[in-house]
Structure 1
């Protein structure tokens, strides 16, 4: 799909050609363009953004704890629960209207002590969910039964993973029904089919890919998972064998996440036991292994006060058991800290016994002791039976083939099947129609205000003047290079190179490159071409680029999500946008360049290479008087294109939560008109597009 930017202006041909083909980076130990030392007052340059964001997390934690301690009365707790539930639902984009489930029984199994029905239902039209309903032996346990929902963790076998199917079997052999279902991108529900027809994208990687499109829509991967689970409860309650007001939920790992969300938001969950998940974003998680996949990060949740303990407190005083493991990578001390906060609040409501914790000396997983603990908890609160049940060695557990619901093992091969990517595309198309109407009817200034608010950009007059610290100088034939450090806010510095030609300058340029300021700083590079034209050039490392980019962030695959995925999601949890933060960096630097270099007061031109075209476009559109000409080299052309493609290489730091409800990148480009030039624009896979 081709997208066009409105308007083009000529730029020196030599500069364009040089900029379009980046020079090879210089080895760090030989880099004459390095400005920062190995350690600065704020710490190691490559860890700057991590430490900056963690400091903001610490500030949010202080406010969160103060609010918790002030929550003393049942009325205060109820108001807190109402507020957090509403905010949670809003931040994941709300839920769709319920539609017919159209359930099918795809087959049955008779096992020792229970039977299984293989179920397919539609959580949304043609968005198929595969599940297995485990029902107790009716001769031993006459119906109706309490029903327990079993969300699955990140295993590709999903509902047929031995410990998940085994847990369902243990419930059924003890008189409780269990519905274990496949989440998207696991089991029979892989959402992305490769061009060769294979289904290779699954689990965490797949959730992150779906999640990137969701961010732009103002949604979250969690929206799909929670809604699937809510519709699964609808299905359970519709079964005549199930007692509709005796519904439990228990899952481990990713299933623990789903359990935590569902128990917090759906009052039909009478009894809950989330496992190997509840710890603390305000605790050690973000400081150690970092944020997890897309559905585990709700936009702004730390800013408005929702940590793991809150998932328990939002449902107080309903019975809740935390299933934990001593040697889990989800920190056991943080699990206990969250438990204690929740138990204290349950006590304030008069029900301290309804909040408990089970710890087993194991690693991460739905181990035997945790399965037993969960079944005992469900029996106590759903069936009124306080029994120390144990899992027999010969428990009859079905395998993957036994539990296959679809003819070919994939829901996307069913007639008319619709994937999460399809549903994202539907929403993008709907928003495009709404956007077009809004842009026709809304004054320009009102649009710019909404854009700035969504991206998190403050007005220029509210941005502090930076302290600019000189760090040395290089002499070149015909010009000199000053090394500078811009101190833009506490804990954030922007290393920069100021190229000053001999004689009277003909203009000014602010230059930013996704590979850092040094990418085109060498003799013969794009920056020198501009300086030879008589222009003063300020080349800057925006925050998290160049010298301050943290390496080794591999959890969110850099090839598809960019090199800053973990830091991005910490910012996301705080409700911060990298686009907005970097746009503010550009605004601060442009103002300084305008006011401090001749000709005084003249607005500098702006050149941005690669992914930095996105914050550059925001800075220039919202502040049209601050910049002259704007040139974007290899820019991404459209956010909608990323949603349409599904699998894409748009960097996470190039997204703004909910932006497509108000604007897309071509909308910003149109506002700049003929002041904007693009060179070699790219689609969301990084492929050249025709202009």
Structure 2
């Protein structure tokens, strides 16, 4: 097998962006103009619909018998566990009470516990007057900058406490006192939502999700509640809104200690949500869940017939039509099991948020199922809530300022070290298993559309390669020459490499410039945030880097066949270098040399990067359990 020669060269003669636009174009100028019908979005939509239709058929079949339904539930539980990855081990919580605030009818304890060694969670515990033991509610919060101190969350906790519930309300990673990215002055560098995106890349490489770490904070929060003598361990509930509704959904499906759960302003269906508003923050997009047939209502169905209340809002950006679809699916399952009254829905005529009617509904729900009493709870207390500083648990307002505190980046690197110590020998077959990149024999021949050449006779041929239905790859082809053909894959678009291609062709090399999917003319125009389509692909269980590597292989094979050559050279740069490296490493008989200019050197770099989000498309699920980019050079 011929050894791959790897060179580092600099591309020369690159055109400016303005010049590039005046040079060559293959697809119509309005291609991708409609954000709802962009190439990658439309391509992935069909796969989402197919997966969800298959799931719906499986659910219909499961409703025919209790045995079939139990099998459906078990399959979805296993799918959720697979998506979350291997979770951390239970270690000492080392809880501390950092202070207590007296309020009319209840107290607020400032709690600090370790969900992992040296990794602290800040929380407020609302405790009713009396000796207990009390039923307890875990309250993961939504994307508020001040986390647990957000006004509507405080009001929900107050109302629950006044009606006899202990409530543990904690700061999620990246919010409140748990910011992970501070500037030189110790000030949080990002708002919570963006910090989640920056923190969300590394867990993918480790076979987890940012949601896995957030879930674990909640699981350990339940552990803490159950350790308290004033908590009745048999009466645990969970509620949260928005991002907290997301975490409530994870927790109620994962942890069977949660008897009653009320997720708010999150429950819908993938089919609705992927269209509008689109995928959420990093923690909301679990790997392979759509591909495995796991939809939003399955968070409820896996726990049926445990009591569950959907909290929703008419004017929410979370699609209310999807919410009612999810509720109807849940109602049918609960009815099949003989407990139709245990699942319900509240729709408040409000916008997104833990509004008053939803707070009241949650209290009534928990009173019924955890206290066995009928309660008409109304929120009459409109007194000012406490300030962020009053509820602050740590002295300086951020856990990262605690002595010997470990950051999430520290946890990433420590876990990667464990994975690296147990990596199996690297083979091409293993790389294929991790990335899903098919062999040349399994890749179909591309469709070729040769466009009319309106430029000079010496101009390159404009082509459109179709490697699979729904995907168009614009290309420029210089066919003259009898030396080794060269495939150029620029991340900046074809016009950035035209002069280089002309120089190589003048030296006798046939040259094909290919724009692989989501580059150049097919580049996705942001419609939710950069990476929305990546996350849909991720939830389908598809590898973005792998798809682009297959585009390179299909193009290289076509170029080889057109010139009856033994091999081709591959030149790439920037964000396409990892895909090119995979293509060359997997098919050395096809690709004799790989030349690149600047690119990500190692996935390991992203574990501690505070600016990892721009590299999201290069993230491969669980890849660091098997290899890093430099390891491919050995192949």
> TM-score, normalization: structure 1?
0.88
Alignment of 1:186-265 (within 5 A): 186-265=175-254
User: Take 2:151 and 2:493, find their aligned partners in 1: how far apart are those partners?
Assistant: 48
Shift of 1:9: 4.6
User: Take 2:485 and 2:184, find their aligned partners in 1: how far apart are those partners?
Assistant: 48
> Would the alpha carbon gap of residues 41 and 608 (structure 1) be closer, same or farther in structure 2, given more than 3 Å must change?
closer
Which position in structure 1 is the counterpart of 2:430? Answer: 450
List gaps (5 residues or longer) in structure 1.
Answer: 557-564, 672-691
Which position in structure 2 is the counterpart of 1:101? Answer: 93
Shift of 1:646: 4.3
User: Take 1:51 and 1:291, find their aligned partners in 2: how far apart are those partners?
Assistant: 15
User: Take 1:659 and 1:434, find their aligned partners in 2: how far apart are those partners?
Assistant: 13
Which position in structure 2 is the counterpart of 1:644? Answer: 608
Shift of 1:95: 1.4
Which position in structure 1 is the counterpart of 2:329? Answer: 341
> Would the alpha carbon gap of residues 217 and 480 (structure 1) be closer, same or farther in structure 2, given more than 3 Å must change?
same
List gaps (5 residues or longer) in structure 2.
Answer: none
Which position in structure 2 is the counterpart of 1:590? Answer: 556
Which position in structure 1 is the counterpart of 2:149? Answer: 160
Which of 383, 391, 395 is equivalent to 1:407? 395
Shift of 1:463: 1.0
Shift of 1:38: 4.3
User: Take 2:129 and 2:313, find their aligned partners in 1: how far apart are those partners?
Assistant: 32
> Would the alpha carbon gap of residues 136 and 303 (structure 1) be closer, same or farther in structure 2, given more than 3 Å must change?
same
SS class of match (2:467) = strand
Shift of 1:429: 2.0
Is the CA contact (8 Å cut-off) linking 2:215 and 2:251 kept in structure 1?
yes
Is the CA contact (8 Å cut-off) linking 1:620 and 1:627 kept in structure 2?
yes
Which of 343-352 and 465-474 deviates more? 465-474
Is the CA contact (8 Å cut-off) linking 1:46 and 1:550 kept in structure 2?
no
Shift of 1:578: 1.0
Shift of 1:476: 5.4
Which position in structure 1 is the counterpart of 2:43? Answer: 52
Which of 45, 56, 63 is equivalent to 2:54? 63
In the TM superposition, what whole-angstrom CA distance separates every residue of 1:196-238 from its partner, at most 9, and x where no partner exists?
A: 4322234111111111001111110011111110010011111
> Would the alpha carbon gap of residues 40 and 183 (structure 1) be closer, same or farther in structure 2, given more than 3 Å must change?
closer
User: Take 1:586 and 1:170, find their aligned partners in 2: how far apart are those partners?
Assistant: 59
User: Take 1:570 and 1:185, find their aligned partners in 2: how far apart are those partners?
Assistant: 23
Is the CA contact (8 Å cut-off) linking 1:112 and 1:396 kept in structure 2?
no
Which position in structure 2 is the counterpart of 1:539? Answer: 513
Is the CA contact (8 Å cut-off) linking 1:150 and 1:249 kept in structure 2?
yes
The answer to whether 1:483 aligns with 2:457 is: no
Is the CA contact (8 Å cut-off) linking 1:46 and 1:549 kept in structure 2?
no
Which position in structure 2 is the counterpart of 1:507? Answer: 484
Which position in structure 1 is the counterpart of 2:448? Answer: 468
Is the CA contact (8 Å cut-off) linking 2:36 and 2:42 kept in structure 1?
no
In the TM superposition, what whole-angstrom CA distance separates every residue of 1:111-160 from its partner, at most 9, and x where no partner exists?
A: 0111111100001101100111101122xxx4111001110100011111
Which position in structure 1 is the counterpart of 2:568? Answer: 604
Is the CA contact (8 Å cut-off) linking 1:264 and 1:314 kept in structure 2?
yes
Shift of 1:517: 1.5
Which position in structure 1 is the counterpart of 2:348? Answer: 360
Q: Superposition RMSD on alpha carbons, in Å?
A: 2.1
Is the CA contact (8 Å cut-off) linking 2:8 and 2:595 kept in structure 1?
no
The answer to whether 1:18 aligns with 2:12 is: yes
Which position in structure 1 is the counterpart of 2:477? Answer: 498
> Would the alpha carbon gap of residues 639 and 619 (structure 1) be closer, same or farther in structure 2, given more than 3 Å must change?
same
SS class of match (1:183) = coil
Shift of 1:665: 0.5
Q: How many residues matched? A: 632
Which position in structure 1 is the counterpart of 2:495? Answer: 518
Shift of 1:362: 0.3
Shift of 1:39: 6.1
Shift of 1:396: 6.3
> TM-score, normalization: structure 2?
0.96
In the TM superposition, what whole-angstrom CA distance separates every residue of 1:43-64 from its partner, at most 9, and x where no partner exists?
A: 9998111100001111111101
SS class of match (1:421) = helix
